[in-house]
Amino acid sequence: MAKQSGEVVCELKHVDKVYEGAVPTPALLDINLQVRRGEFLVVLGASGSGKTTLLNVMGLLDTPTSGQVWLAGRNAADLSEEQRAALRSRYMGFVFQFHYLLPEFTVLENALLPCNIVGKQMVSANRERVKELLERVGLGDRLKYRPSQLSGGQQQRVAIVRALANNPELVLADEPTGNLDSKNGFAVFEMMRFMNRQTGTAFVVVTHDERLAQEADRVVVLEDGRIVKDEVQRPAMTHEL
């Protein structure tokens, strides 16, 4: 199904996040950010700048101290924990620095895990689509392989397809190339860019590598928990899957 570009899929309004302790530690300060459908957005910043906290708040894995997080036209503050979990599983996909594939599962079974969480009907509805995605990332002949039979770059490709299994509106990726060498890291980044263009799914990718940011539609720079730069580099593109 085609995704119409330009619609807001996630919005943060005046978001602050402060970690309490003997000395309160501010992680995010007055964050205002919109992510639109089909956009490929890179978040840059030094270690400790708030990048991972930002993704966790956007992904409903953490709650802001103040401000609002809107997803699918809903204020996350109005949702129960069960509703938040359901929204995460159906509306978003996640890619992490480590692939977290289950060693006893095949490539296809790992990629279908988000569908299994929702239910057997979702697995049946998405199996062929997920197989097609695996083919697009060059793993069509490895559907029955175990993770131990794949290279690090191939394992991360499976993780990217897994994030797209439920046809989400938004994929959040936290340093997805950080555990790879530069060659494989760039190849995985290009694969995410390719899947963004193919599916129309919005990507928000956290990285400290400024070279990767050159391929993004838009770059946001965080510094000490604040957005100090938000620059559009090119119009977002969407395509029908």
Read off the pLDDT of residues 122-159 as tens digits, 9 standing for 90 and up: 677 778 888 988 888 888 899 999 999 998 888 888 98
Looking at residues 1-21, what average pLDDT do you find?
A: 81
Q: What is the DSSP string of the chain?
A: ----TT-EEEEEEEEEEEE-SSS-EEEEEEEEEEEETT-EEEEE--TTSSHHHHHHHHTTSS--SEEEEEETTEEGGGS-HHHHHHHHHHHEEEE-SS----TTS-HHHHHTHHHHHH-HHHHHHHHHHHHHHHHHTT-TT-TT--GGGS-HHHHHHHHHHHHHTT--SEEEEESTTTTS-HHHHHHHHHHHHHHHHHH--EEEEEES-HHHHTTSSEEEEEETTEEEEEEE-S-------
Sheet hosting strand 74-75, strand order edge to edge:
25-36, 8-19, 66-71, 74-75
User: Does 240 score more than 60 pLDDT?
Assistant: no
User: Does 1 score more than 60 pLDDT?
Assistant: no
**Pairing between strand 25-36 and 226-232?**
unpaired
Measuring CA to CA, which residue among 77, 99, 79 is closest to residue 87?
A: 79
User: Does 241 score more than 80 pLDDT?
Assistant: no
Q: What's the pLDDT band for 30 if we cut at 50, 70, 90? A: very high
User: Does 181 score more than 80 pLDDT?
Assistant: no
**CA-only gyration radius of the chain, Å:** 17
Mean pLDDT of the chain: 86
Interatomic CA distance for residues 196 and 52, integer angstroms: 21
Ordered domains of the chain (ranges, CATH): 39-60+78-232 (3.40.50.300)
Looking at residues 196-220, what average pLDDT do you find?
A: 87
User: What confidence score (pLDDT) does residue 114 get?
Assistant: 83
Comparison of pLDDT for 185 and 135, the residue scoring more: 135
Read off the pLDDT of residues 75-116 as tens digits, 9 standing for 90 and up: 999 989 888 888 888 889 988 877 789 999 999 999 988 887
Q: How many residues does the chain have?
A: 241
Q: Token digits for 163?
A: 């994030």
% residues pLDDT > 70 (the chain):
91
Q: Up-side HSE of residue 123: CA atoms within 13 Å toward CB?
A: 11
Residue with tokens 């697995």: 123
Interatomic CA distance for residues 239 and 12, integer angstroms: 26
Q: What's the pLDDT band for 63 if we cut at 50, 70, 90? A: very high
